[in-house]
Amino acid sequence: MKKIVKVQVLIYLFIVISLFSACQQKEVLKKPNIIFIMSDDHAYQAISAYGHGLNNTPNIDRIGKEGAIFTHGYVTNSICAPSRAVMLTGKHSFVNGKVDNLQEYDWGQDNFAKQLQGAGYQTAMIGKIHINGLPQGFDYSNVLPGQGQYYNPEFIENGIEKKYHGYCTQITTDIAMDWLTNKRDEDKPFLLLYHQKAPHRTWMPEKKYLKLFEDKNFAPPANFFDNYENRPVAANHEMGVFEHMDLVYDLKMLDEEGDIKTKYRKNAQYMYNRMDSTQRRAWDAHYKPIIADFKSKGLKGKDLALWKYDRYMKDYLSTIQSVDDGVGEVLDYLDKNNLTENTIVIYTSDQGFYLGEHGWFDKRFMYEESFRTPILMRYPKEIEGNTVIDKLVQNLDFAPTFLDYAGVKIPNDIQGESFRKLVANESGEWRDAIYYTYYEYPGEHNVQRHNGIRTDRYKLIHFYYDSDTWELYDMEKDPKEMNNVYNDPNYASVQKDMHTKLVELRLKYGDSDEKDQENLKRFLNAKNLRH
Rg of the chain's alpha carbons, rounded to an integer? 25
Final residue of a structural domain among 310, 340, 367: 310
Answer for the pair 99, 106: CB distance below 8 angstroms, yes or no.
no
**pTM of whole model > 0.85?**
yes
Same domain, 299 and 338: no
Same domain, 47 and 192: yes
Q: Is 404 contained in some domain?
A: yes
Answer for the pair 445, 250: CB distance below 8 angstroms, yes or no.
no
Final residue of a structural domain among 286, 310, 334: 310
Same domain, 422 and 505: no
Answer for the pair 152, 166: CB distance below 8 angstroms, yes or no.
yes
Q: Is 9 contained in some domain?
A: no
- Torsion-angle region of 133 (φ positive above 0: left; ψ -120 to 50: alpha; else: beta): left
Same domain, 485 and 421: no
Q: Is 224 contained in some domain?
A: yes
Same domain, 322 and 303: no
Nearest to 394 by CA among 75, 57, 1: 75
Q: What is the CATH number of the domain that holds 494?
A: 3.30.1120.10
Answer for the pair 319, 349: CB distance below 8 angstroms, yes or no.
no
Same domain, 284 and 160: no
Angle formed at CA 185 by CA 184 and CA 189, multiple of 5 degrees:
95
- Torsion-angle region of 300 (φ positive above 0: left; ψ -120 to 50: alpha; else: beta): beta
How, if at all, do strands 68-70 and 140-143 pair?
A: unpaired
CA distance linking residue 229 with residue 379, whole number of Å: 45
Nearest to 483 by CA among 491, 475, 473: 473
Predicted local distance difference test score (pLDDT) of residue 7: 52
3-class state of residue 360 by DSSP: strand
Please give the residue range of the domain that contains residue 105. Answer: 33-204+318-426
Same domain, 378 and 445: no
Q: Label residue 147 exposed, middle or buried (CB < 10 Å: 0-12, 13-18, 19+).
A: middle
Number of domains in the chain: 3
Same domain, 407 and 497: no
Nearest to 470 by CA among 445, 446, 490, 496: 496
Answer for the pair 240, 224: CB distance below 8 angstroms, yes or no.
no
Same domain, 80 and 195: yes
- Torsion-angle region of 135 (φ positive above 0: left; ψ -120 to 50: alpha; else: beta): beta
DSSP letters for 274-331? TS-HHHHHHHHHHHHHHHHHHHHHT--HHHHHHHHHHHHHHHHHHHHHHHHHHHHHHH
3-class state of residue 462 by DSSP: strand
3-class state of residue 404 by DSSP: helix
Q: What is the CATH number of the domain that holds 378?
A: 3.40.720.10
Q: Is 25 contained in some domain?
A: no
Same domain, 193 and 338: yes
- For 168-275, list the strands marked E by DSSP: 190-195
Q: Is 419 contained in some domain?
A: yes
How, if at all, do strands 458-463 and 434-438 pair?
A: unpaired
Q: Is 54 contained in some domain?
A: yes
Nearest to 197 by CA among 369, 38, 360, 398: 38
CA distance linking residue 342 with residue 442, whole number of Å: 46
Q: Is 209 contained in some domain?
A: no
Same domain, 83 and 129: yes
- 426-433, Cβ contacts within 8 angstroms, sequence gap of 24 or more: 430/391, 430/392, 431/391, 431/392, 432/392, 432/456, 433/392, 433/501, 433/505
Final residue of a structural domain among 289, 310, 331: 310
Answer for the pair 364, 370: CB distance below 8 angstroms, yes or no.
yes
Same domain, 306 and 323: no
Q: Is 492 contained in some domain?
A: yes
**Mean pLDDT for each consecutive 10-residue tract of the chain (531 residues)?**
53 54 50 98 98 98 98 97 98 96 95 98 98 97 97 98 98 98 97 98 98 97 97 95 97 96 93 96 97 97 98 98 98 98 98 98 98 98 97 98 98 98 91 97 93 98 94 98 98 98 98 90 82 60
Predicted local distance difference test score (pLDDT) of residue 427: 80
